[in-house]
Amino acid sequence: MPASSLRRRNALWLALRTAEPGSEPFAEALQELSELTGWKRARVLAGLGLTEEDGQTPAGPSEQEPT
C-alpha cells in the first residue's frame, strides 16, 4: 500500500473513532475505509469494538415505523 493510501487509511480510522456511530460522517468514512482496505463493513466495525447494529444510520422521520 503506497504511503498516501496509508495516510488516508489512518485518517479514516481517526474519523471513525471521533464521529458518532450511525451519523452521516461515520457512514461515509466507514464506506470509504471498507473500499480502501477491501474489508467488509462488519470487520471494520469490529475493529472499533462495534457491531452492525451500532453502525446503523438512525431512521429519519419519514423512515420510522408508524406508531
Query: Taking the mean position of all CA atoms in its chain, how far away is CA 1?
Result: 21
At 45 the pLDDT is 96
pTM of the model: 0.78
Q: Give the pLDDT of residue 1.
A: 73
Question: How many independent structural domains does the chain possess?
Answer: 1
> Domain limits at 12?
3-47
Task: Examine residue 59 and state whether it is found in any structural domain, yes or no.
Answer: no
Whether the per-residue pLDDT at 65 is higher than 70: the answer is: no
Instruction: Choose among 4, 30, 31: nearest CA to 18.
Output: 30
Is residue 7 domain-resident?
A: yes
Q: Is residue 52 part of a domain?
A: no
Q: Determine what percent of the chain is predicted with pLDDT higher than 70.
A: 84
- 53 part of a folded domain: no
Residue 10 in any domain: the answer is yes
Tens of pLDDT, residues 7-32: 999 999 999 999 999 999 999 999 99
